[in-house]
Amino acid sequence: MNGAVIAVPAIRNAAVAAIAALSLLATILAGCESKETAPASPTAENAVDAPLKIRLGVDSGSFSFQFRVAQASGIFKKHGIEADISTYSFGIDTINAAILGQTDSAEGMDYAVASRFSESNDLRIVAYIGGPKPEGEKLYTRLPEVDSVADLKGKTLGVKKGTVNEYIWGKVFELHGLEPKDVEQVYLGSSAELLAAYQTGEVDAFWASTEVAQAVREVPGSKLLGDLDLAKTVYRGYLLLDEKFIQANRPGVVRLLRALDEATAYIAAHPEETAQIIYDDLKVPRDAVLEALKFYNYDIRLSAEDIAHIANVANWSVENGLIKNRYDIRPFIYLDTLREALPEKASVQETGDGA
């Protein structure tokens, strides 16, 4: 696919974005229509003759909460889902695992997903599942002389390699008059490693999620520089499944999406129970989970804007050398299962960035 043009060019005007998004979704809806109508999947209330056995790859943070809640609360069982959940550091690691055939699913934020679609593979976006609000990720420094992003010139920054964090840093540099060469970037493999590097002074600044924000604030001299508004964007997370797996298990995938939608509603209605589930599974303190829930959007949907957003991220990343190959996003979108599971969630929606 080298040399192909990404379907949605970088959109810098809100009106143009809306028009392009509407046009793109219409094209995708036509292009992704199945040749045959699949049989209706069993409802959760009815007995399920063929349980869906699926290996789910999830990350170690807030992005994974829907899956963990669905498993622990019995929602997966209710919908006939037999899930084997494997935990990885970041979403990009789940994508790599799925490409290698180690899992049947993956979750990834926009940049991580876009970077893997620049190389041909069988993964397909089946839904948007969540992402942080702007205040859900905050930039901290431990240096007294640093009062703004511009003051980070010559400093050492902690970076989550291969993740949307690279994209966020790139946007921040662009908007605040810095270049990558102006700083030293230290690439680390997990949030725990980044926090440890910050605590010991190995890095001078990094983006902290709400789960580790309290520990960051306890570092002597630590201060807040801002949130994702510094990058003028937020990021969106997507659920990916192997296309062959979808074709072989379509009724089960429909039930999986319904189960995740129910888990999303459970999280909103039962934050205390959710906090206990996450503590039991990941040992994240309950108060930290409750704090994280305030700054995270969960939803099961796929709108024109969700699709346009990831194409825009891919375009920007190509233009700035983070992704090598241009490509068409449309072959990597699979709408049919979401349209069957939650038809009202697979339509054009008036959403803001990250809504």
Q: What is the pLDDT of residue 119?
A: 77
Instruction: Using pLDDT thresholds of 50, 70 and 90, give the confidence band for residue 350.
Output: very low
How long a stretch of residues is the chain?
A: 355
CB 135 within 8 A of CB 354: no
On the question of a common fold for 14-42+61-133+237-345 and 135-231, the answer reads: yes
- 3-state secondary structure (DSSP) of residue 194: helix
Q: What is the pairing mode between strands 52-58 and 81-87? A: parallel
The two tokens of residue 232 are 């003028």
Q: What is the pLDDT of residue 49?
A: 64
Q: What is the pLDDT of residue 209?
A: 85
The answer to whether residue 310 scores a pLDDT higher than 50 is yes
Which tens digits make up the pLDDT trace of 84-131? 999 999 999 999 999 999 999 999 999 999 999 877 789 999 999 999
- Phi–psi pair at 301, nearest 5 degrees: -165, 175
Q: What is the pLDDT of residue 223?
A: 96
Average pLDDT score over the chain: 85
Which tens digits make up the pLDDT trace of 15-66? 333 333 434 443 443 444 333 333 333 444 444 568 999 999 999 999 999 9
Virtual CA dihedral for 72, 77, 83, 84, nearest 10 degrees? 50
Which tens digits make up the pLDDT trace of 330-346? 899 999 999 999 999 99
Q: What does 246-282 look like in DSSP terms, one character per residue?
A: HHHSHHHHHHHHHHHHHHHHHHHH-HHHHHHHHHHHH
Q: What is the pLDDT of residue 322?
A: 85
The two tokens of residue 246 are 């979808």
Q: What is the pLDDT of residue 105?
A: 97
In our burial notation (b when 16+ CB lie closer than 10 A, e otherwise), range 276-303 reads ebbeebbebebebbebbbebbbbbbbbb
* Domain ranges within the chain, ordered by starting residue: 14-42+61-133+237-345, 135-231
Query: pTM higher than 0.85, yes or no?
Result: no
Q: What is the mean pLDDT of residues 236-246?
A: 97
Instruction: Using pLDDT thresholds of 50, 70 and 90, give the confidence band for residue 286.
Output: very high
User: Computed over its alpha carbons, how large is the radius of gyration of the chain?
Assistant: 20
Task: Please tell me the CATH code under which domain 14-42+61-133+237-345 is placed.
Answer: 3.40.190.10
On the 0-12 / 13-18 / 19+ scale of CB atoms within 10 A, 13 is: exposed
CB 54 within 8 A of CB 25: no
Q: What is the pLDDT of residue 349?
A: 42
The answer to whether residue 160 scores a pLDDT higher than 50 is yes
Nearest residue to 153 (alpha-carbon basis) of 188, 175, 181, 174 = 181
CA–CA separation, 256 and 76 (whole Å): 7
Q: What is the mean pLDDT of residues 191-207?
A: 94
CB 80 within 8 A of CB 262: no
Instruction: Using pLDDT thresholds of 50, 70 and 90, give the confidence band for residue 352.
Output: very low
**pLDDT more than 70, % of the chain:** 84
Q: Domain 135-231 is in which class?
A: alpha beta
Of residues 49 and 317, the one with the higher pLDDT is 317
CA–CA separation, 211 and 296 (whole Å): 11
